[in-house]
Each structure stands twice: as structure tokens, then as C-alpha cells.
Amino acid sequence: MQNKRLTIITLTVAMMLLVPLIAMQFTVEVNWTVSDFVVAGVLLLTTTLLCGLVWRKIKNVNYRIAICIILLFSLLLIWAELAVGIFETTISGN
């Protein structure tokens, strides 16, 4: 069961990364490098695996939901910082 879950998660992340890859073929507005794909893949895979771990290990449903929301919010903040540098930290390249 564990390998099946990991396979599904990995394939889902890979399919999500196909969206910008296909968009790059049709427009110059999307211009990702290999490192962009690697960082996005690591962020998505890590967040998904952590939410899965939380969902399996924590028994209280309210705690599960709260922790997964915090993880997703963290993902969005990191993604926004890397994309446009809203906090102007060193990881945004500003």
C-alpha cells in the first residue's frame, strides 16, 4: 500500500509539472529553467508527502486539517516568494 501511495503522489506531481512544460511550447510568457522544475517538484512533493504523513499519524481530525492548512499556506508563501519576491528575501534573487 505504501509503494502504491508514493507512486500516485509522484505521478500527480509529475503531471502538475507538465502544465508549465506544455505552456512553454506555446507561449514565451512561461520561461522555466531546469532548476525551476526541480524546485517546484521538491516543494510539491515535500508538501504532499508531509500532508500524507500528518493524515496517517495524527488521530484528531481537527489537528490534521489545521496542520495540512499550515503546510499548504507555507507552500504558497514560499512559491510566491520564489516567483515574485513579495518579502524581498535573498531566496527570491532580489
Write down the H helix ranges in 1-94: 2-26, 34-57, 61-84
Q: Are 82 and 39 in contact (CB under 8 A)?
A: yes
Q: Which three cell numbers stand for residue 6?
A: 508514493
Give per-residue pLDDT as tens, 16-35.
999 999 999 999 999 999 99
User: One-letter amino acid identity for 57?
Assistant: K
Count how many Cα atoms sit within 13 Å of the Cα of residue 42 in the half-sphere of its side chain. 7
Q: What percent of the chain has pLDDT over 70?
A: 97
44 DSSP 8-state letter: H
Cα separation, 42 vs 26, in Å, equals 25
Higher pLDDT, 89 or 74: 74
Q: What percent of the chain has pLDDT over 90?
A: 80
**Could you state, in order of their start, the residue ranges of all structural domains in the chain?**
2-92
Mean pLDDT taken over the chain: 93
Please give the model's pTM, rounded to 2 decimal places: 0.88
pLDDT of residue 94: 58
pLDDT of residue 85: 82
